[in-house]
Each structure stands twice: as C-alpha cells, then as structure tokens.
C-alpha cells in the first residue's frame, strides 16, 4: 500500500462514538443482498433487514431505503433465466418485478404495523431544481408521517441506469437520495465486507480497510480493481461514497448478510468500511449543485486558479480559465476541472460558454471591453461555488 493510501486510512472507530445513533439514515440494498446470490428475492433476508429498519425507527431514527431487485424479481416472475442486456427487455423485467418487490416490502413491513411508500426517480426528476425540491419535500413529508420511503431508479423510463452510463445499480442514486434528504449517514449494503487492500477473490491475503479518511486516486484504483458482482461493483460504491462524504454525510459499505449490520452501522459499531464526511453540512442549493445532475458543461482552469479556489475564499475569474467544454448558458451549473481532468468544484456560471470562451485568460477589467457588457468580474462567484476536492 502506498504512503498516500496509508494517509487516507485510519482506525474505523476514531472520532466515532458507539451508541450515539444518527437521526436520519439512507440504506441502499443491492440486488445480490436481496436475492442472497440466487435467482429470486430472498424473503428471509428481506425480513431480517426490515426488522432492523423497524428496530431503528423505534429508536427514533428516520429511515429511507434505496432498493434494487426489481429486474431480478421480474426475471423470476416471467421465468427468464438469461441476463439480457438490451434496454427494452430489461425495462419490461423492471416493470413486472417492481410490483413483486414492493408487495414483498409492503407485507414484511405491515407485520410491524409500518407503512411504506414507493418513490420512483430518474435523473431528469432531480436535474431540474424544481423537481429536486419537489422530490425532497415529498420524502421529508413521508418521514414526518412515520412512513418508510422505498426509492428505486425508474427503470422503465431511465435508460441511463439500465445501460450503466451513470447511475450503476442504484449506487449513485443512494448518494443522491442521501444528499436530497440531508441524511447524516448512508449505509451501502453489498455482498462483500467492504473495501479491501486488494481483490480478496484473487488475493486471499487482502485486508479489509476499516476506515478511509479521504477518497483519493489510490483509493479509487483499489475500488476499481476489486471484485464486484452486478452492474455496480465496488468502484461505483466508492464513487457514491465520494459524493456523499463531500456533502457532509458519513458512509458505511458493509456486508448485507451480517447479522444486525444496519443497527450496528447506525450505532457506530465497527462494520465494513467507514468513510467519514469530509465537509460540513451544506445548504440544499449547494447539495443539489454537488450532485452533478444539473451540470451543463465544464470549465478547465490552471493550477494557480485551482490553488485560489481550494484556499477557500476566491471566486473563479477569467484569468485562470484555459478552456471551455459544453454549451451552457448564464445561470447554468458547470463543473470546474483542472488541466488533468480532475473535478475541483462546481458552480453557477455568470456567463455563457461562448462568453467564457471569449474572455478566458483575460483580466476581469477587460470583460466589458471584449463582450460589450458585463455581469460582474467573476465567471463563478464564490457564493455560488462548491468545492469537490478541497485540499486534494
């Protein structure tokens, strides 16, 4: 393990107090957890997880579930054994299986006199600011009523998720939902113990990493080389953790079949791999920007501008911009990248892509001279900017 990896990893329990529960938690239940690796939903596994959710609710912890399993349930219902990758067929399986999935949850929770609600989301629902707020308000209202929301990607219309272009087996979705409801903890349950120093399926000597202080390039490489059944895999889970921790949310990745895993994770007992939040709580508007869903383009900046932004007080000025990518307009959200392609920040652009292209590299006092008008000296004002890799 490199020195960079060592500096990113420390004791799981450091700075974490067992017995001190979080108040709002999002739990992601993957397909391989819900099916126990089989071809259909495993009701015994689901009953155990439901019982843990009920136990946490009795301790006044608000719970939101992000559940996979619809396609697997549809495959079983229709007697389909192949793993077809064509989008229309998978959409059909999801449409059929979603009923069985929710019926199972409804029955299991009803034994405990708990009401559930189905929430189907797609990227377009959350990319629009108004849609984001509507989804947030609905989820918070359900929690206030004591209902357990069960969220899934809307596979029937959300082609991006099925094709694996972005969402990836609900891993990114669970981070977005945690961001959406201002959760304090995200628990991602899978069929491995967590993040290892190497692929444990090929390297028996690999060690479980108990705590990751910051998700850097070395950690991402470890995740990318790890075994990961299903479409998500460890890489997408670590990317979900990266988004959540940047939003001020702690994350645990753990084995979903470990007895009491949800309860233990919320109580601070050492399970899986723990990723502490690397930022303070963010206001709703900045969390929405950080999600990446509304990004309309990229602005590439030089090393001097990177240092100025990461110092924590600077706005993005045209002098530090070296290139523009995309066709965004004034008021759109853009990603800000360094020259090596790393995302440094995101923010609301004061100028369109064409305007930024025209003024890049110039002093701010030349904006009006070049454009014939000015909306301020900043391309992205500090108040409308969120760092993605502060201190990286």
pLDDT exceeds 90 at position 291: no
CB 297 within 8 A of CB 330: no
Give the pLDDT score at 165.
34
Find the Cα–Cα–Cα–Cα dihedral 104, 106, 109, 112, rounded to 10°: -120
| Sign of CA pseudo-dihedral 124, 126, 132, 137 | positive
Beta strands in the chain (DSSP E): 24-29, 62-67, 116-121, 148-153, 185-190, 250-255, 273-275, 295-301, 321-326, 333-337, 343-348, 385-387
CB 245 within 8 A of CB 260: no
Mean local confidence (pLDDT), 322-350: 91
139/92 Cα distance (integer angstroms): 27
CB 252 within 8 A of CB 187: yes
Give the pLDDT score at 84.
58
Cα 225–236–155 angle (5° rounding)? 135
User: CA 290 from chain center: how many Å?
Assistant: 10
27 CB-side CA count, 13 A: 31
Residue of 228 and 110 predicted with greater confidence = 110
**Domains recognised in the chain with CATH numbers:** 3-286 (3.40.1160.10), 295-387 (2.30.130.10)
Find the Cα–Cα–Cα–Cα dihedral 266, 272, 276, 282, rounded to 10°: -60
End-to-end CA distance of the chain: 19
Give the pLDDT score at 379.
95
* Total count of residues recorded for the chain: 392
Statement: the pTM of the whole predicted model exceeds 0.85 = no
Beta strands in 166-320 (DSSP E): 185-190, 250-255, 273-275, 295-301
pLDDT exceeds 50 at position 92: yes
170/188 Cα distance (integer angstroms): 10
Q: By percentage, how much of the chain surpasses pLDDT 90?
A: 48
Mean pLDDT over the full length of the chain: 84
pLDDT tens by residue, 114-172: 999 999 887 777 777 778 888 888 999 999 999 999 998 876 655 554 443 334 458 88
Give the pLDDT score at 71.
86
What are the φ and ψ backbone dihedral angles of 342, each rounded to 5 degrees?
Answer: -80, 135
Q: What are the counts of helices (DSSP H) followed by strands (DSSP E) for the chain? A: 16, 12
Residue-wise over 227-247: b if at least 16 C-beta within 10 A, else e?
ebebbbbbbbbbbbbbbbbbb
Res. 383 pLDDT band, cuts 50 70 90? confident
207/61 Cα distance (integer angstroms): 32
Give the pLDDT score at 164.
36
């Amino acid at each position: 393990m490199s020195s960079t990896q060592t500096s990113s990893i420390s004791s799981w329990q450091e700075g974490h107090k067992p017995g001190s529960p979080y108040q709002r938690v999002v739990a992601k239940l993957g397909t391989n957890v819900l099916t126990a690796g089989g071809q259909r939903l495993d009701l015994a596994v689901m009953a155990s997880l439901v019982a843990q959710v009920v136990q946490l609710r009795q301790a006044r912890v608000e719970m939101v579930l992000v559940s996979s399993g619809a396609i697997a349930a549809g495959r079983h219902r229709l007697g389909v054994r192949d793993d077809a990758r064509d989008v229309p067929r998978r959409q059909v399986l999801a449409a059929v299986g979603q009923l069985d999935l929710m019926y199972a949850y409804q029955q299991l929770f009803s034994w405990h006199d708990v009401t559930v609600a189905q929430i189907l989301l797609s990227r377009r629902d959350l990319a629009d600011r108004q849609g984001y707020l509507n989804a947030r308000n609905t989820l918070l209202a359900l929690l206030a009523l004591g209902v357990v929301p069960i969220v899934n990607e809307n596979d029937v219309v959300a082609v991006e998720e099925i094709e694996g272009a972005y969402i990836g087996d609900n891993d990114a979705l669970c981070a977005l939902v945690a961001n959406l409801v201002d959760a304090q903890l995200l628990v991602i349950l899978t069929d491995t113990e967590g993040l290892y120093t190497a692929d444990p399926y090929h390297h028996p000597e690999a060690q479980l990493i108990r705590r990751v202080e910051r998700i850097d390039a070395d950690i991402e490489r470890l995740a990318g080389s790890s075994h990961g059944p299903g479409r998500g895999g460890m890489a997408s889970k670590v990317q979900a953790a990266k988004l959540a921790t940047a939003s001020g949310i702690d994350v645990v990745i753990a084995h979903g079949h470990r007895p009491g895993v949800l309860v233990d994770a919320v109580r601070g007992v050492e399970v899986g791999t723990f990723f502490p939040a690397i930022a303070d709580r963010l206001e709703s508007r900045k969390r929405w920007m950080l999600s990446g869903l509304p990004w309309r383009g990229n602005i590439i900046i030089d090393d001097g501008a990177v240092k100025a932004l990461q110092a924590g007080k600077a706005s993005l000025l045209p002098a530090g911009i070296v290139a523009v990518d995309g066709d965004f307009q004034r008021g759109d959200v853009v990603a800000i990248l360094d020259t090596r392609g790393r995302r440094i920040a995101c923010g609301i652009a004061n100028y369109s892509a064409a305007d930024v292209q025209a003024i890049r590299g110039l002093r701010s006092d030349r904006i009006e001279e070049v454009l014939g008008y000015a909306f301020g000296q900043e391309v992205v004002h500090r108040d409308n900017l969120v760092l993605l890799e502060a201190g990286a």
